[in-house]
Amino acid sequence: MQSHKLSMKLYLDFDPCVECKEMMTELSSEEMLFADDETRADVSAKFLRHLTYNHNEVVKAVMSEVKSQQRSPEFDLYK
């Protein structure tokens, strides 16, 4: 039986702070491109926690997008 993996892409439009910029640089580094899945997941989780706890505007934008997508006849946020 083949399982279907769900994925979601978010495009964030916000003013990143110094810490955000440092983490985005780390996430896009050559070292991270060749890192194992667990390492990449850990660094990504750290960045998402930072956004959640330090950038309320990002959380509000994501919640708004989810609500608008749910009302759409072609709810595709998780495709």
Tens place of pLDDT for every residue, the chain, 79 residues?
A: 455 555 556 677 889 999 999 999 999 999 999 999 999 999 999 999 999 999 999 888 888 877 776 666 555 555 5
31 assigned to some structural domain: yes
The answer to whether 59 and 39 have CB atoms below 8 angstroms apart is: no
Separation of alpha carbons 33 and 25, rounded Å: 12
2 assigned to some structural domain: no
Query: Could you give the 3-state DSSP secondary structure of residue 20?
Result: helix
The answer to whether 51 and 58 have CB atoms below 8 angstroms apart is: yes
Residue 32 has what pLDDT?
Answer: 93
pTM of model > 0.75: no
Domain that holds residue 41: 18-71
| Close Cβ partners of 22 (under 8 Å, ≥ 6 residues apart) | none
Cα-Cα end-to-end distance for the chain: 20
Residue 19 has what pLDDT?
Answer: 96
Domain tally, the chain: 1
